[in-house]
Structure 1
Amino acid sequence: MREIVFDTETTGTNPASGDRVVEIGCVELVNRVETGRTYHAYFNPERAMPSEAEAVHGLSTIFLSDKPLFGHKAEELLDFIGDAPLIAHNATFDFGFLNAELARCGRDPVCLSRMICTLVLARSRHPGAKHSLDALCTRFGVDRSQRVKHGALLDAQLLAQVYVELTGGRQIGLGLMVDAGPQGTSASRGSTVQRTVRPPRPHGPSVEELARHAQFVSKLKDPLWLKLQAIPAAS
């Protein structure tokens, strides 16, 4: 199954009041495994970047001034995401901005039935715990040392690892042994492991082993057990 994990960076928190998407990052998963295919783009928001937002992601008005408009990259983005389910952290936020940008350039919105929210998954699995992306990375041992500021592609890559943990862990899809096959073999999904069946060994020593042991003991000088045998037993 193909899924897309994505994240956006914006000029603020409310697309209805004119805030815009300035960066998007997408990571492709197939059967919960990263394929290495990604999509990443910066956009000119056609407005100044508020200092509060710049402090979060570090994207300035000057840096974004020569970047393409969202509408100029919309077809490319839609081709990448296709009809796959879309995974985001606090997904209503990212879907709201994505669909607002699509509406501005005359595109149909992405259906909310495709939305998978890792924040909802995390709250269901770990009620009462912290559910920020940083907290989830810490919980699942995901390395976030490069996350100095928010970045759409980096955050999507981190979230992809978190999503795998939330939905079964890194070993999801691993073929495990399910039953024992005939004649000393064990069947597993996709492979057969051969086992060598050895006959049981008698617990007692053989006549030859006893003879070799007696020969070895006879060569010992002043063995300790002879001294113990000379001590009279307590009455």
Structure 2
Amino acid sequence: MGLQKIGSRLVVLDTETTGLNPRTGDRIIEIGCVEMIDRRLTGNNYHQYINPERDSEEGALAVHGLTTEFLSDKPKFRQIAAEFKEYISGAELIIHNAPFDMGFLDAEFKRLDMAVLSGEIDGVIDTLVQAKEMYPGKRNSLDALCDRYGISNAHRTLHGALLDSELLAEVYLAMTRGQNSFSIDFGDDRNDTGENGARLPLAPLEEIFVRLASVEEILLHEDVLVSLNKEVRGLCVWHKLPAEVAQE
């Protein structure tokens, strides 16, 4: 997991579809996106229902609940393609099981003879791949990750692209929280994060108690350095450094 650049724009993306395979004619019926800049939610989200011009498979309908009747008056993908592409342009996408969503999106753009997304974005982070690396052998679905990180998904009775993107944004921040700070995690219950999971500012240095080593502890430490220096025949860097600094 690489560190994000300062000012980087992340877009958490999810889609709902009529089925599992765009190569057999399945289509996108919903897109939901949540924007983050510097790991903070901006509220500049994107959400669109889409008329797929076909029925959903029975299994898919049971997952998302978006009927053909409900989608019949929604715009077709060709009507929203340009605005959607403009929205995600230059962003790094965060997707759970990225090949699925990217495969469907690329298929939709290819139908319109438009360039696929890879040339429009700044890369893709697949949180399913990250989760499998962090928790090998565990369940790593979005629901399982919500449970693991204590993120409430009680309101998620059916899959929805925008709701799932909002949950995934929280999961991503929780998974990568160590990137936010070089401070030590003491393992207690202190609430040191904000509403969006970002690390709160550290206390001013003058408020931090610093315990200096006692004379006895300094002498014991020097004995250890002398012993180490003997073992390496006078080449101990830690033992040589103070003398060299003093000479300067």
Q: What is the TM-score with the length of structure 2 in the denominator?
A: 0.69
Pairing 1:219-234 to 2, within 5 Å after superposition: none
2:172 corresponds to 1:166: no
2:126 corresponds to 1:117: yes
Q: How many residues were matched structurally?
A: 184
3-state SS of 1:37 partner: coil
| In 2: Cα distance, 1:68 partner to 1:13 partner | 21
Pairwise CA distance, 1:118? 0.4
Superposed CA deviations along residues 188-212 of structure 1, whole A, max 9, x for unmatched, are x898454599xxxxxxxxxxxxxxx
2:152 corresponds to 1:143: yes
3-state SS of 1:28 partner: strand
Pairing 1:15-30 to 2, within 5 Å after superposition: 15-30=22-37
Aligned amino acid, residue 129 of structure 1: K
Alignment correspondent of 2:85: 78
Identity of aligned residues (%): 48
Moved over 4 A (4+): 174-177, 189-197
Larger Rg: 1
Pairing 1:1-235 to 2, within 5 Å after superposition: 1-111=8-118, 114-168=123-177, 173=180, 192-194=204-206
3-state SS of 1:127 partner: coil
Q: Judge conservation of contact 1:175–1:190 (CA < 8 Å) in 2.
A: no
RMSD, matched Cα: 2.2
Aligned amino acid, residue 149 of structure 2: F
Provide closer, same or farther for how the CA distance between residues 129 and 191 of structure 1 changes in structure 2, counting only shifts above 3 A: closer
Pairwise CA distance, 1:31? 1.8
| In 2: Cα distance, 1:193 partner to 1:124 partner | 36
Superposed CA deviations along residues 180-232 of structure 1, whole A, max 9, x for unmatched, are xxxxxxxxx898454599xxxxxxxxxxxxxxxxxxxxxxxxxxxxxxxxxxx
Aligned amino acid, residue 134 of structure 2: R
Which structure has the highest strand share of the two? 1
Pairwise CA distance, 1:168? 2.2
Aligned amino acid, residue 80 of structure 1: Y
| In 1: Cα distance, 2:174 partner to 2:73 partner | 38
| In 2: Cα distance, 1:126 partner to 1:192 partner | 36
